[in-house]
Amino acid sequence: MIFSFVTIGLSVTAVAERDHTIGEVLERIEKHEKNGDRQDLIDLLRCLWVPAVEYVNDYDKFIAEGVFDDIEEATYGDRLDVIRVLDPMIDSKDSILRGEVAAALAYYGYPPAKQWLRDFPDGPQKAIFFAILDHKRAYRWAIDQLKIADIKERSGENDLLVERMAYLNLIFYLAEPASLPFLDGLLVSAADEKIKDRAKMAKDRILELHPEIK
């Protein structure tokens, strides 16, 4: 996989005019970890997980059949190298750095990263990482984020659809029966038909995967 630092809007000016493979990004991460600029290191780490942003913006694509197979295929070839370079960095005393490392490891499907995602800022990208790792307990987090989105809206903030859909997509994938009361409430109270439709999809999937629920 090749990334353009210009295309994704990161600030690693030393390499901004060239495209770089994951292997080259990892080499630069190793160098910056030892004696490089902290912000450059963070930007380099973001290069590893930035493809996840596509699944936030295109929330319908993220629930398409085979999406996790696509992510695995895109990351498989570099997965072991990413883990080799980043796993030792997860013990950093810098919580922001830990969060970025955890996000990259999560995108590459490394299960131990889930416990360190607590250091990654809450937001729709985090929902993608929790979904990739199938972090079952994260349904509570998703519900909390949807409640926070409601508070934001009542405070006058607009354009929250993409954010809400990311959290609902996570609930859809985790398919935890404990999510049902919240989804039922959303089906009654949500004003946006897209939100209602996604809540219904999540509920239907839970009922399909848990036929013991009457």
Compute the distance between CA of residue 130 and CA of residue 123 in angstroms, rounded to an integer. 11
Q: What are phi and psi of 148, to 5 degrees?
A: -65, -40
Contact yes or no for 184/155 (Cβ under 8 A):
no
Distance CA 40, CA 201 (A): 41
80: DSSP letter? H
| SS3 label, residue 20 | strand
Residue 143 to residues 148, 167, 194, 199: CA-CA distances in angstroms? 9, 7, 17, 12
Q: What sign has the CA pseudo-torsion 11, 13, 19, 21?
A: negative
The gap from C-alpha 114 to its chain's centroid, in whole angstroms, comes to 11
> Residue 156 burial (CB < 10 Å; 0-12/13-18/19+)?
exposed
- Of the candidates 49, 166, 24, which has an alpha carbon nearest to the alpha carbon of residue 101? 49
Q: Tokens standing for 114?
A: 């889930």
Both tokens of 196, joined, read 């209602």
Segment-wise mean pLDDT, segments of 10 residues, the chain, 214 residues:
40 42 92 82 93 94 95 96 96 93 97 95 97 97 97 89 97 98 96 95 97 86
